[in-house]
């Protein structure tokens, strides 16, 4: 593997500090080539095709995935420090705020009491969203339809593996409405969970269970008892090197508290991001950091980053050794807005992206 062979980990930052599992690396040859692989790009386009847009004039294209430079994880056997409990990325308090997800009325159906009408696969309402109002360390400036990673090792449940709660619609409705209810006298068991034990909070408070500014949304059995997280969080199947795993951006997910396997649990984080105006603006900034070998814009700044690393891939090398689709995903060449047969909705957003990226 190029990543290991080139010793990119020498003297490099990772966390947790005392026993790193996630490394602040974005531009190693392996990461760049993995994001650019045609199978990854095809998988991302296929996944994003399951989203829909209620607004036909919305500037969004799911057939043109963009490259988002993220980090990688190498979790050693026995590790218990990189223990991510149930959570949702993409902000926390922002989901209740008018200037956050309220800008697109993403969850209005839930807030109006019509949770059954909420559509987690509607894309156009998410375009104006501000999911990082508080500049959190794990904030993401791109609209990620799916979070995802590419497996670098063979791993199954109990070995530092991914767990998800597959009830996207129901779980979202529950945790968003949870702050408006409070329990009665019963304190445990079925009596505690019974509907008769819960009433509308009066007077209301500012408490948003598991939500803290500049952090992701945390969930646990104490604050969100009706989710039954002990039973509803399930492991994904065994993965092997090269398997691509993705989950909806509102999915509750976690990893095993303890890595009980015999070898490392390693992944490259590679989300699926559509072509939008905001995503193109981020891509333009990310393109500059790639050329300079510096951390991607969403991540902690560094004076040198990977600029002095032996074997770093230059833009010139990449332009000659990855496909045209992958070059577009990195913002290195224009999108084919004027090509015959391109859908009109795709054409409009590609033209706008070319302007943002300096190609028009």
> pLDDT digits over 281-301, tens only?
999 999 999 999 999 999 988
By C-alpha distance, which of 68, 77, 81 is closest to 15?
81
The three-class DSSP label of residue 37 is coil
Mean pLDDT along residues 153-163: 97
How many other C-beta atoms are found inside a 10 Å radius of the C-beta of residue 61?
25
Of 261 and 311, the structure prediction assigns the larger pLDDT to 261
Kindly indicate the confidence band of residue 5, based on its pLDDT and cuts at 50, 70 and 90.
Answer: very low
What pLDDT digit, counting tens, does each position of 201-250 carry? 999 999 999 999 999 999 999 999 999 999 999 999 999 999 999 999 99
Q: Token digits for 27?
A: 């531009």
User: Rounded to whole angstroms, what are the CA distances from 214 to 43, 53, 315?
Assistant: 31, 29, 34
Nearest to 143 by CA among 34, 27, 283, 255: 283
pLDDT for 13 equals 67
pTM of the model: 0.94
Q: pLDDT of 125-138, one tens digit each? A: 999 999 999 988 76
Span 76-113, pLDDT tens digits: 999 998 889 999 999 999 999 999 999 999 999 999 99
d(CA 37, CA 340): 25
The two counts, helices (H) then strands (E), for the chain are 11, 15
């Amino acid at each position: 593997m190029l990543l290991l062979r080139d010793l990119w980990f020498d003297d490099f930052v990772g966390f947790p500090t005392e026993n790193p599992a996630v490394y602040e690396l974005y531009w190693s040859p392996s990461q760049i080539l993995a994001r650019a692989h045609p199978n990854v790009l095809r998988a991302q386009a296929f996944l994003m095709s399951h989203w829909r847009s209620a607004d036909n004039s919305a500037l969004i294209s799911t057939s043109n995935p963009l490259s988002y430079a993220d980090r990688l994880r190498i979790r050693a056997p026995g590790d218990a420090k990189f223990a991510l409990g149930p959570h949702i990325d993409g902000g926390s308090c922002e989901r209740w705020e008018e200037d956050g997800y309220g800008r697109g009325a993403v969850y209005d159906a839930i807030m109006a009491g019509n949770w059954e009408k909420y559509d987690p696969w509607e894309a156009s309402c998410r375009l104006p969203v501000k999911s990082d109002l508080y500049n959190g360390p794990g904030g993401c400036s791109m609209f990620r339809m799916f979070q995802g990673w590419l497996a670098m090792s063979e791993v199954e449940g109990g070995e530092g593996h991914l767990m998800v709660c597959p009830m996207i619609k129901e779980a979202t409705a529950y945790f968003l409405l949870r702050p408006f209810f409070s329990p009665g006298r019963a304190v445990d068991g079925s009596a505690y969970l019974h509907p008769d034990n819960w009433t509308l909070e009066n007077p209301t408070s500012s408490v948003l269970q598991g939500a803290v500014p500049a952090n992701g949304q945390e969930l646990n059995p104490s604050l969100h008892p009706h989710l039954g997280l002990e039973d509803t969080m399930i492991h994904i199947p065994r993965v092997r090197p090269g398997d691509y795993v993705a989950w909806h951006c509102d999915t509750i997910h976690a990893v095993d508290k303890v890595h009980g396997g015999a070898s490392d649990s390693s992944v490259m984080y590679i989300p699926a991001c559509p072509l939008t105006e905001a995503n193109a603006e981020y891509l333009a900034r990310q393109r500059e950091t790639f050329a300079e070998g510096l951390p991607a814009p969403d991540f902690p700044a560094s004076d040198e980053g990977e600029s002095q690393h032996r074997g770093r891939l230059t833009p010139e090398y990449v332009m000659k050794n990855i496909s045209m689709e992958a070059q577009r995903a990195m913002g290195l060449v224009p999108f084919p807005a004027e090509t015959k047969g391109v859908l009109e909705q795709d054409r409009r957003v590609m033209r706008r992206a070319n302007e943002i990226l300096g190609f028009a």
